Amino acid sequence: MDFLNKNKQSLTKTTRQFVERFDEAVRLGDSADQRTRPIDVDTVEALEEALISADVGVAATERIIEAIRARRTRDRSLRELVKEGILTILKGADTPVGNGHRPHVVMIVGVNGTGKTTTVGKLARLIKDSGKAPLICAADTFRAAAVEQLEVWANRAGVDFIRARAGADPAAVVFDAIAAGKARHRDMILVDTAGRLHTRVNLMTELDKIRRVAAREVEGAPHEVLLVLDATVGQNGLVQAREFMAASGVNGIVLTKLDGTAKGGIAVAIANDLKLPIRYVGVGEGIDDLVPFSPEDYVEALFQEKW
């Protein structure tokens, strides 16, 4: 299954709700032709409801509506204008990832229950399939079960795995993993950190220590700090993201459980409110069910006609 089809499948619940409400907004005018229908108060309210119900968020919804009013012409349908507005927001948050240093160090952070550990395994598989050699570092030294689970996923992905004894300093494990990655000529180091609440100051401080250790060993490291967010929590995820941005320098998002929610519009809210790019999307439970995020595929999937 290609990436677009996986995105379509994962957004089924969101699309079902969104398209129905969007079509209702489009039908409100007295003209059968979307291209000549005026954007009146009723149409705007219905369109706002459709976007907010998909968890696009108030700020992003207002931005899309204003863009539609500014660009409205007789040769453009409302559907085309909404798609253009969403795409503009998503592309505006996208930033290139620097790949100038080897190994490329990626730190994965998030709260418990977001699918963080399984995401690391899936990401390792995705990287390996692209022709690069990753190494997984288990920097969660507090929960033995988490380390064992990660090792299972590393074995499934067929990649190297570095762990330490329970209770070891997570930053020391990262030091060892980077040394191993250099010795084995690995392209990427994926650092799985312990799940933590964004309100736990001491644990958030630990992330900063890991960052400092990585920076001493590889110039510019960590090159990526990916926050794993559960799409089902909707707007609450923005609060988590802001705290992790402040504590650990998050510069990208992995959105998991997108297939289990009607709140798939949260990707737009993240891009608009936080100016953070969505790097990957979890679309299922299998090891191949993590795909690189594509703004174009996302918008196309959001407006799919059939589900």
Q: What is the pLDDT of residues 97-128, one digit of tens each?
A: 766 778 999 999 998 888 899 999 999 999 99
Q: Shortest CA distance to 133 belongs to which of 185, 97, 192, 191?
A: 185
Sheet order of strands, 160-162 included: 160-162, 134-138, 188-192, 104-109, 224-230, 252-256, 278-282, 290-292
Proportion of the chain in helix, strand, coil states, percent, rounded to 5: 55, 15, 35
pTM of whole model > 0.85?
A: yes
DSSP 3-state assignment of 162?
A: strand
Assess whether pLDDT exceeds 50 at residue 31. Answer: no
CB 277 within 8 A of CB 97: no
d(CA 278, CA 264): 12
Tokens of residue 23, six digits? 């079509």
Sole residue written with tokens 């079509």: 23
Q: Shortest CA distance to 134 belongs to which of 90, 178, 95, 176?
A: 178
d(CA 70, CA 27): 21
DSSP 3-state assignment of 85?
A: helix
pLDDT value for 11: 78
Assess whether pLDDT exceeds 70 at residue 304. Answer: yes
Other Cβ atoms closer than 10 A to 179: 12
Assess whether pLDDT exceeds 80 at residue 143. Answer: no
Confidence band for 16, pLDDT divided at 50, 70 and 90: confident
